[in-house]
Amino acid sequence: MDRKQHTIKKEFTYTGIGLHTGKNVTINCKPLGVNQGIRFRRIDLEGCPEIKAGIDNVVSTQRCTTIGKSSWDVNTIEHLMSALNALKIDNLLIEIDANELPVTDGSAKIFYELIKEAGVQKQKEDKEVYKIDQAIYVKEGDQALIVLPDDNLKISYTFVSNHPSLQDQFAEFIIDENTYYNEIAAARTFGFSHEIERLKESGLALGGSLDNAILVGEDGPINELRFNNEFARHKILDILGDIKLAPEFKGHIIGIRSGHRLNSILSRKLKERLLK
């Protein structure tokens, strides 16, 4: 299966705070020609080094997805990558003046809207879309991800709660542009109050607030939820961002308790299987 490649029609800029660094950061997204991929350029570093957003360049999955090289990296790419996946953007240059993308409101909604406003430009070259012909399965402990054959890209996710005031959640969607925007893009990242001090001591969540994350306290979520299963929907959002680093495919992804680490392991396995 093939489709045409896409970039954006015009560049756009966005400034916001990094979720983990707590620092202001500006991204400038620019169109790229065919077969260039999604590329990040660190304009704050000497020589403005670039890196391609691909599974082979993932260097960390601790609380976010990070791509990088030996001396520099780009953190928290998953929400932008998720919106790019939904809108089938294949070629894009993202100039960034720090080591972490802005968190926006904790979801992918703002990134999606910025891309739509810039416009999606169809390009002349084809993009290969692979079809899953047999199950692909990864598991660690009680976390699991499986991809089954399907004519669509479909994701089913079960969020299993260990919190006494938070119920288990389930969400399932066939992914297309409208469904993504209406049902997935606005789902926010989340954290637990008992973890915040430990995370900040580790240099994480320094920019987190009720404006860009759901905070779960002793009695449950402190913020008003946008969906009754917002946690499960955000996990689907993250999966879409993380699998953007693998070859594009149609299939049914089923996730249980999984996060960025298992998403990354699945993406590596997908690349190995689909490109063999």
Query: Would you please indicate which residues are annotated as catalytic (active-site) residues?
Result: 260
Strand partners, 169: 159
Place of tokens 């992918």: 108
Tokens standing for 93? 């240059």
Report whether 238 belongs to an annotated binding site: yes
153-159/249-256 β-pairing: parallel
Report whether 252 belongs to an annotated binding site: no
Residues 6 or more apart whose CB falls under 8 angstroms from that of 254 comprise 144, 145, 146, 147, 148, 155, 156, 157
What is the rounded (10 degree) CA torsion for 271, 273, 274, 276? Answer: 100
Alpha carbons 13 and 22: distance in angstroms, whole number: 19
Q: What is the radius of gyration, based on Cα positions, of the chain?
A: 18
Burial environment of residue 198 by CB neighbours within 10 A (0 to 12, 13 to 18, 19 or more): exposed
Alpha carbons 82 and 241: distance in angstroms, whole number: 4
Place of tokens 């979520």: 221
Report whether 6 belongs to an annotated binding site: no
Exposure string over 179-191, b if 16+ CB within 10 A, otherwise e: ebbebbbbbbbbb
Alpha carbons 111 and 48: distance in angstroms, whole number: 23
CB 166 within 8 A of CB 38: no
* Residue positions forming the annotated binding site for Zn(2+): 79, 234, 238
* Residue positions forming the annotated binding site: 79, 234, 238
